[in-house]
Amino acid sequence: MIDKISSATSTPLAPLEFSETLTSWQKTYGRNDLPWQQDVTPYRVLVSELMLQQTQVTTVIPYFKRWLQHFPTVKALADASEDEVMALWQGLGYYSRARNLHKAAKFVVQELNGQLPENAEELRDVPGVGPYTAGAISSFAFNKPAAIVDGNVKRLFCRYFGIEGDIASAKVNKTIWSYAERYTPTFDNRRYAQALLDLGATVCTPRSPDCQQCPLKTSCNALATHRVDVLPEKKAKKKTPTRSGYFLLDINDDGVMLTQRSGNGIWPRLWCLPEILEPLETAPIHGRFKHVFSHYKLEATVFSLPADQSGQRVPIEQLDNYGLPAPIRKYLNTLCT
């Protein structure tokens, strides 16, 4: 189907024409009613951008709304305890983002007088704010001409400009950033940045991009050269390794025994069933669960056994007040239903 678009050329539009094409497409076809696009403030953009790292928009929306109800300002978040922050984040995964967001809020309140800077360079000084997030805050919160490059933009640019090489390599990353900077418009960058993300998420999708509906179809290199299916190039993925984990379930009428994990390893600082290093030959197995992390799969076995008393016994009805890893919460929920 896509090969039938005979008018495609492999010459990209000039920056101004490119940004005008995208912004006018965004007005009609883009996403303009996301919660963080309403009542835009730098804090709301910061929260949404950290939540959106590695997570789909539809998953983030309820978390974002709940977060803003609990922590409506950067000061409210800075004043919150770590347990409150982790409890609200639970289920979203990649918990370092919650800790970074908390650190960022404290930094903004303590070092920046409660104000996030407008400029992407200065935003990089805020903990947890990398190049993409800095560009996104500068673009979305302040409408400044800052380049943004996330997974959507990388894919779109590789195809549109015909960029070859492993998309995860430093070389390709540098090339993409240089296009991103050259093509960032000096005005209305908020809409342009949103257009890039929207086009990548809804039209130039990883699989089966809808080139017929794409505003860039007449000048897209990948389309003109029949390489939509091969760009961006990716190195073959290594098989995800599997690791075993062993946990203790000590539950009675007073609640379940939990321990707070250390700051290292998986689920740092979250409350969890006590973990042991080796399987127990003699203890009865209560159940098993699996969880997929970005770098490995966990196959967990849960033993029924009294844990030592160094943890905290938490009444079941109070579990929502604790930051628990999603698979542990899910496991415990199955016991209560």
What residues make contact with ligand SF4 under the rule CB under 6 A?
A: 156, 159-160, 203-204, 209, 211, 214, 216-217, 220, 222-223, 228
Whole-number minimum distance, CB 109 to ligand SF4, in Å? 41
Nearer to ligand SF4, 214 or 251 (CB): 214
User: Nearest approach, Cβ of 227 to ligand SF4 (angstroms)?
Assistant: 9
Rounded to a whole number of angstroms, the minimum distance from the CB of residue 179 to ligand SF4 is: 13
The DSSP secondary-structure symbol of 233 reads: B
CB of 223 to ligand SF4, least distance (A): 4
Burial of 107-138, coded b for 16+ CB within 10 Å and e otherwise, reads: bbbeeeeeebbeebeebeebebbebbbbbbbb
Q: Half-sphere exposure of residue 58, counting CA atoms within 13 Å on the CB side? A: 2
Taking the least distance from each CB to ligand SF4, the nearer of 7 and 81 is 7
Which H or E run contains 246?
A: strand 242-249
CA-CA distance, 239 to 258, in Å (whole number)? Answer: 33
Angle formed by the axes of helices 57-70 and 42-52, to 10°?
140
Q: Decide if 49 is catalytic.
A: yes
CA separation (Å) from 48 to 60, 172, 267?
A: 8, 27, 21
Cβ proximity to ligand SF4: between 44 and 155 the closer is: 155
Q: Give, to the nearest 10 degrees, the angle between helix 15-29 and helix 189-202.
A: 70
**What does the alpha-carbon distance between residue 109 and residue 178 come to, in Å, rounded to a whole number?**
33
Asked whether the beta carbons of 142 and 135 are under 8 A apart, the reply is: no
Give the whole-angstrom CA distance, residue 207 versus residue 184. 26
Identify which of residues 222 and 332 has a Cβ nearer to ligand SF4 in the complex: 222
Q: Of these residues, 17, 20, 49, 281, which one is catalytic? A: 49
Report in angstroms how near the CB of residue 33 gets to ligand SF4 at its nearest: 23
Please, which residue, 18 or 177, has the CB nearer to ligand SF4? 18
> Mind telling me the catalytic residues?
49
